[in-house]
Amino acid sequence: MTTDPLVVFTPSGKRGHFPVGTPILTAARQLGVDLDSVCGGRGICSKCQITPSYGEFPKHGVTVSENALSAWNAVEQRYDDKRGLKPGRRLGCQATVQGDVVIDVPPESQVHRQVVRKAAAARAITMDPATRLYFVVVEEPDMHSPTGDLERLERALQQQWQIDAVTADLSLMSKLQPVLRKGKWEVTVALHKGHKDSLARIVEIWPGLHEQGLYGLAIDLGSTTIAAHLTDLETGEVKASSGLMNPQIRFGEDLMSRVSYAMMNPGGDQEMTKAVHEAINDLTTSIAGEAGIDAALIVETVFVCNPVMHHLLLGLDPVELGQAPFALATSESMSLPAREMGLTTMNPRAQVYILPCIAGHVGADCAAVALSEEPGKSDDLVLIVDVGTNAEILLGNTHRVLACSSPTGPAFEGAQISSGQRAAPGAIERIEIDPVTKDPRFRVIGSDKWSDEDGFDIDIATTGITGICGSGIIEAVAEMRIAGLLDESGLIGSAAQTGTERCVPEGRTHAYLIHDASAEGGPRITVTQGDIRAIQLAKSALYAGARLLMDEMAVDKVDRVVLAGAFGAHISTKHAMVLGMIPDAPLDKVTSAGNAAGTGARIALCNIGSRAEIERVVREITKIETAIEPKFQDHFVAANAIPHKSDPFPELAQVVTLPAPSFNTGGADSEKSGRRRRRRS
């Protein structure tokens, strides 16, 4: 029986006996305990911090004495003097086993630490990125046994980190020699190894120990907006989130108009590719600046996007996506150098991963939602709608998952709305309309006060009130219906019909005035009849897509609904129901998941195993093509009313009393004009 001391690691519970003098880092490695190290035990990276516990541990069957570890040494003292170690912490590579001991590995010292998402249905992301840092000491050259610097670096990686072979491109080779000499043969390399790669690639090399971190971008490239999360690849922490409008909007508001632009203008696809590359390059620079890091430390980027954006990002002509059978150039995931794609402001050797597409109309963004929300692991039947310019819709459970995409247009993102804007400070995001006075109160992004509360004016002094964002317009339309300003067909009543002077004539129709600062040179914010129609088209497309999946699944009800999308977190369930955006579901079973596609991108960025997982899951998803399905049109027409006529929520009556279904005049006209718009679109 061994007399070597027992070492117990928590929280893993792994335990083993080790000879006196064994460094804790060595014990951890032999037991497969998740303890980080970049410097390979040289006492300079501080990644291996551990907390020994002393006293009685009946649970583990050990008593730990005060001298269970070697004494605090000079290396630890030097680190503590320079950077400071938290009380009770030791460096795992310096402290050695002297007696039975219980060692806690704090989360920040775990290589595969878990990062909990902020979203309601928290799913932890286990950190396991494709790019990691390794500190090595490289042998100096010797005339008597000549070898190249790269070969000696490879040997050091093999001996010190058991990494068998690496590859490096020419641009890295050109900095290899000066960096090795500057670092006096001690360097840190960033190695990238994709889940399908047999060789690791040297992405970057720094003299000495590199302590400025390593970063990645998770980018949700939408038709209307581009949203990016700058993520620390060691901790998973989001350092900055930023977004901008997709500049391709100038070539067409929606996907099909961009495909038409490419069809009708030779070189049009390349123009759009150039525009999006420039925007991503600018976004990379600005988000790095916002986080106060050097953009060259961004070594990885994950993209999620719909198929048209996917092709235009990659410089592929999207014309095939505009006509049946909607063939993709490739539906597989892509891993490629950022430079090859024209992304020039991140690290010159940064790697890009693009999630797989599901079908010609169902893109990598939908795959990202599936990765984030995992419908295939749900016991109950869940409907997930990711609301954007295109709605990505998934319906499924552990038996089967269906997916489709529905052309909602950009109205839900505040575009094509007369006073619309993207969600930014100054935008109205919440609104309530008093059913008696018909006056609105609202909240704008940048203040948590309502417009009729003290201090609101001070809060918004710098931003002003600039427009309405996506969640604001949804609430505005629903509130107008509840307050009797809008009838079931979507017609805005006149001042006489509604009893408020805020319903002002506008051409042959009416508009509802929310805020008027025109006397001071500010904006006049209204909801026009055109805005209502745009929202009706969008919500009908969303509803019809969801219904189509339910038809395929042969169900009339779903167990729960998850609203996702850039503003999914902000849509109130009540307003979504009044609008008739989604099929019937119990009220308490309608939840918001925030930007699920963006979260899926972050998961793929932080965890390499998730890339293989989503590639497998996507193959098992059944795709439904809305564009060629005749029932889509039937569902679309039925869904036009507010709320929809064919599938009204029974619960709605418990939440809100809706006024009379129509103003006596104009209902028929409005139906006709609605149909005319639909035909045009």
- What residues make contact with ligand FES under the rule CB under 6 A? 25, 37, 39, 41-48, 91-93
Q: How far is the CB of 101 from ligand FES (least distance, A)?
A: 17
How many whole angstroms separate alpha carbon 392 and alpha carbon 387? 7
Q: Closer to ligand FES at the Cβ: 39 or 477?
A: 39
Q: Closer to ligand FES at the Cβ: 209 or 587?
A: 209
333 burial (CB, 10 Å; 0-12 / 13-18 / 19+) is buried
Q: How far is the CB of 422 from ligand FES (least distance, A)?
A: 44
Q: Closer to ligand FES at the Cβ: 91 or 538?
A: 91
Alpha-carbon Rg for the chain, nearest whole angstrom, is: 29
Q: Closer to ligand FES at the Cβ: 32 or 522?
A: 32
Q: How far is the CB of 209 from ligand FES (least distance, A)?
A: 8
Q: Closer to ligand FES at the Cβ: 24 or 527?
A: 24
How many whole angstroms separate alpha carbon 160 and alpha carbon 138? 10
Q: How far is the CB of 39 from ligand FES (least distance, A)?
A: 4
Collapsing DSSP to helix, strand or coil, 380 comes out as coil
Q: Closer to ligand FES at the Cβ: 47 or 574?
A: 47
Q: Are 338 and 303 in contact (CB under 8 A)?
A: no
Q: Closer to ligand FES at the Cβ: 93 or 546?
A: 93
Q: Which residues contact 355 (CB under 8 A, 6 or more apart)?
A: 302, 303, 304, 333, 364, 367, 368, 371, 600, 601, 604, 611, 614
Cα–Cα distances in Å, from 251 out to 162, 246, 269, 275? 51, 10, 10, 10
Q: Closer to ligand FES at the Cβ: 39 or 597?
A: 39
Q: Closer to ligand FES at the Cβ: 103 or 391?
A: 103
Please, which residues bridge with residue 220 across strands? 227, 304
Q: How far is the CB of 49 from ligand FES (least distance, A)?
A: 8
Q: How far is the CB of 38 from ligand FES (least distance, A)?
A: 6
Q: How far is the CB of 31 from ligand FES (least distance, A)?
A: 16
Q: How far is the CB of 84 from ligand FES (least distance, A)?
A: 14
Q: How far is the CB of 210 from ligand FES (least distance, A)?
A: 12
Residue 582: what are its φ and ψ, rounded to 5°? -130, 155
b or e along 445-483 (b: 16 or more beta carbons within 10 Å of the residue's beta carbon)?
A: bbbeeebeeeebeebbeeeebbbbbbbbbbbbbbbbbbb
How many whole angstroms separate alpha carbon 477 and alpha carbon 512? 10
Q: Are strands 200-207 and 186-192 parallel, antiparallel or unpaired?
A: antiparallel
* 65 C-beta neighbours (distance < 10 Å), count: 12
How many whole angstroms separate alpha carbon 681 and alpha carbon 669? 18
Residue owning tokens 């575009």: 415
